[in-house]
Chains A and B, each alone.
Chain A
């Protein structure tokens, strides 16, 4: 047990040593400052602006920013859908896979557009290298960059001192995030992963062993908190995650950008303490989830005990990772809205399974997805400021800007909408006959599967209790006889779209509103937002909202399971 806690402690130490540096680098990129890569990349950047036909210095107000974002997103999702539906015609298809069915393709296209990467597709059994590279991996970059762009727009709105209401230029932000942050990190990560044994080849299956350009996709899958596996079993598969070291590296690059962004934020609003306060609140909730899942998994399951097996829960885990590194990965990939897994979530203990669920129940605000995690947390910060203001009886203000009723309404929509989608869609799935064909397990586990499916998709996480299926494939490659479970595919697709774009629009509207506000001087009565007390209040707001929303659902699933040794 000491060994397990040592792993957790050393990991946290490495993380805290690295992320402030990355945070500072990103702040320089977002503020147009010169960085190490500028001499190499600046000509490329200028060339791209010329090709796109944009003036990078021309700012957009929130509506123009949102419009550009929606147009680019719509075009990308249409392209991805077409690629998946016409797969049979494309090059780089050594196994000769056929085109996807409409429902699964719709689910997969929306899933990669929204940074969810829910897997109703079977990677190595249904997708060509072309679909993986030009379809999925492109969205791994773009969906990550779009979310970071929205965050940067919000930060600019908060930080604006004499606002004309502009939030920056969407195309410029997208380009700089891809060029200066995502591509360089991915190139380095690809080489590290290949050095551990992750495959990177265009040669097809050989000797019954499926391969592909995996490492280049794995790198951005994790860095961009996407999480969609090249292989069906994701980062549990040795060709995606071959060694204990690659596992450590993958955990670090999942957390790298989401954990660095609070520091970026602190620098951009001119107060590093603000960044540390938000990081501290996130880190506290993260540590609790790691410790709980690890302690839970150290006990076996009722099923294993009934069979006479003595010891912890290694069902659905890999020996090279063991219980501690599997638990750590599980907590990381669910606080972060990544959803890559090195463990079968369906096989977690009852209490262990409650942890990923709870992490999603925080609306992916604890680190969360790249960009999306921090903009979600900033919504909670504004809510905490509002609640704190009510307690002391003053008009709430944040960093000198008054938070007015209109802002609080937008914040509430952004912070609560995903939860609404998750609950309503789960109710439809378990309350009607249409959800039934997707359910694999009996008893409360079957409910957990359904609930987790819509919770994960609405929050754009993408991890799954993989018994829940939206895709039926005879166990043979080549899409032969494969078909989708239409209800699950379509409902999931809409859960992802709503769960992504409603908060994005709310965030941009808040950013636009804040950008125009005048800054009031700090007075004696101003509530400080850079103290441990505020971090405590923030944690309280996040936990209370999550608990009030989801407690009944948690009770029906994992809580029942951890209270009984009954087998179903």
Chain B
């Protein structure tokens, strides 16, 4: 018994050092040397500051102005924002697209709150897109546009969703629709080995591409 305790204690210490420090630190070293950009989080920088990651969705909002032209604030004093029509909009997020505090929306299939929130997403989508796509009805809204993603930072939207938003982007930015569609195609990821997953249009890289084209 005492021998076992001593052996056990040694094993615990040795394994903790080997598996808990040596292994992750060596893997960090290798990753940082071989694939530094990816190991760091596929970050997007502008003038040296990190403004996002190509793998993470983010908010594309603008402040709402009041009658006097000043940013409006809510009851808590936070600025009120609305989707910026100059950008493609990602899927709804329960976390405000937080990349540092993540949680699931946990909207159950038979909850009245789920129905109400889905209705809100649908209405918001129609309000933004219908002026540019008069034939749009709730039944035509792609499912990704009105449902919370799992991560809260899903960077992708469906091709159908991007095709609808393209009409707005072309009109607001005064771009030929063909140009917008070409950008969408350039920022679309296909299925893995042609079979797995779903094609997705990366809103983060697409919006940055739009801005670069504008400059």
The answer on a CB contact under 8 Å between A245 and B109 is no
Is B1 in contact with chain A by the CB < 8 A criterion? yes
Contacts of B32 in A (CB 8 A): 200-201
What is the distance, in angstroms, from B202's C-beta to the closest C-beta of chain A?
A: 9
- Rounded to whole angstroms, the CA-CA distance of A206 and B5 in the bound complex is 44
Contacts of A553 in B (CB 8 A): none
Is A243 in contact with chain B by the CB < 8 A criterion? yes
Contacts of B16 in A (CB 8 A): 79, 134, 138
The answer on a CB contact under 8 Å between A142 and B156 is no
Is B77 in contact with chain A by the CB < 8 A criterion? no
1/0 per position for A114-148, CB-CB distance to B under 8 A?
00000000101100000001110110011000000
Q: Looking at chain B's contact residues, is the secondary structure mostly helix, strand, loop, or mixed? A: mixed
Is B171 in contact with chain A by the CB < 8 A criterion? no
Contacts of B49 in A (CB 8 A): 207
Contacts of A198 in B (CB 8 A): 38
Is B141 in contact with chain A by the CB < 8 A criterion? yes
Q: Which residue of chain B has its CB nearest to the CB of A135?
A: B20
- A304: contacting residue among B114, B150, B153, CB under 8 A: B114
Q: Which of A157-165, A231-239, A380-388, A403-411 contacts B (4 or more CB under 8 A)?
A: A231-239
What is the distance, in angstroms, from A186's C-beta to the closest C-beta of chain B?
A: 7
Q: A75-B12, A233-B151, A314-B147 in contact; A320/B108 too (CB < 8 A)?
A: no
Chain B residues 21-50 with CB under 8 Å of chain A are: 21, 23-25, 27-28, 30-32, 34-35, 38-43, 49-50
- A343: contacting residue among B111, B114, B143, B150, CB under 8 A: B150
Is B149 in contact with chain A by the CB < 8 A criterion? yes
1/0 per position for A461-494, CB-CB distance to B under 8 A?
0000111000000011100000000000000000
Contacts of B23 in A (CB 8 A): 137, 183, 186-187, 216
- Rounded to whole angstroms, the CA-CA distance of A210 and B109 in the bound complex is 30
Contacts of B34 in A (CB 8 A): 191, 194
1/0 per position for A231-268, CB-CB distance to B under 8 A?
11100111100111101100000000000000000000
The answer on a CB contact under 8 Å between B114 and A321 is no
- Rounded to whole angstroms, the CA-CA distance of A318 and B91 in the bound complex is 9
What is the distance, in angstroms, from A196's C-beta to the closest C-beta of chain B?
A: 8
Contacts of B40 in A (CB 8 A): 199, 201, 203, 211
- Rounded to whole angstroms, the CA-CA distance of A377 and B119 in the bound complex is 46
- Rounded to whole angstroms, the CA-CA distance of A10 and B43 in the bound complex is 33
Is B100 in contact with chain A by the CB < 8 A criterion? yes
- A309: contacting residue among B7, B8, B112, B118, CB under 8 A: B118
The answer on a CB contact under 8 Å between B144 and A319 is yes
What is the distance, in angstroms, from B161's C-beta to the closest C-beta of chain A?
A: 9
Q: Which residue of chain B has its CB nearest to the CB of A465?
A: B106
Contacts of A247 in B (CB 8 A): 192, 196-197
Is A331 in contact with chain B by the CB < 8 A criterion? no
Is A316 in contact with chain B by the CB < 8 A criterion? yes
- A325: contacting residue among B109, B110, B197, CB under 8 A: B197
What is the distance, in angstroms, from B75's C-beta to the closest C-beta of chain A?
A: 17
Chain B residues 116-150 with CB under 8 Å of chain A are: 116, 118-119, 122, 138-139, 141-144, 146-150
The answer on a CB contact under 8 Å between A308 and B139 is yes
- Rounded to whole angstroms, the CA-CA distance of A216 and B27 in the bound complex is 7
Q: A233-B102, A317-B149, A320-B200 in contact; A72/B195 too (CB < 8 A)?
A: no
Of A187, A316, A343, the most chain B CB neighbours within 10 A belong to A316
**Which range holds the interface residue count of chain B?**
35 or more
The answer on a CB contact under 8 Å between A7 and B195 is yes
- Rounded to whole angstroms, the CA-CA distance of A404 and B16 in the bound complex is 42
Of B25, B40, B49, B99, the most chain A CB neighbours within 10 A belong to B99
- Rounded to whole angstroms, the CA-CA distance of A267 and B175 in the bound complex is 66
Q: Which residue of chain A has its CB nearest to the CB of B155?
A: A238
What is the distance, in angstroms, from B115's C-beta to the closest C-beta of chain A?
A: 4
What is the distance, in angstroms, from A213's C-beta to the closest C-beta of chain B?
A: 5
The answer on a CB contact under 8 Å between B102 and A231 is yes
Contacts of A316 in B (CB 8 A): 104-107, 147-150
Contacts of B104 in A (CB 8 A): 233, 236, 316, 344, 346-347, 466
1/0 per position for A298-323, CB-CB distance to B under 8 A?
00111110111111111111111111
Q: A75-B8, A191-B31, A200-B31 in contact; A232/B102 too (CB < 8 A)?
A: yes
Can you pick out 27 interface pairs between chain A and chain B where the beta carbons lie within 8 Å of each other? A7-B196, A53-B7, A54-B7, A75-B12, A79-B16, A137-B24, A197-B42, A202-B28, A209-B100, A232-B102, A244-B192, A244-B196, A248-B193, A302-B115, A304-B109, A304-B118, A307-B116, A310-B139, A314-B143, A315-B118, A316-B147, A319-B198, A324-B198, A444-B110, A467-B106, A477-B100, A568-B112
**What residues make up the interface of B, taking CB atoms closer than 8 Å to A?**
1, 3-12, 14-16, 19-21, 23-25, 27-28, 30-32, 34-35, 38-43, 49-53, 55-56, 91, 98-112, 114-116, 118-119, 122, 138-139, 141-144, 146-158, 189, 191-193, 195-198, 200
**What residues make up the interface of A, taking CB atoms closer than 8 Å to B?**
6-7, 10-11, 48, 51-54, 67-68, 71-72, 75-76, 79, 122, 124-125, 133-135, 137-138, 141-142, 171, 174, 178, 183, 186-187, 190-191, 194-203, 205-211, 213, 215-217, 231-233, 236-239, 242-245, 247-248, 300-304, 306-325, 342-344, 346-350, 353, 440-445, 465-467, 475-477, 561, 564-568
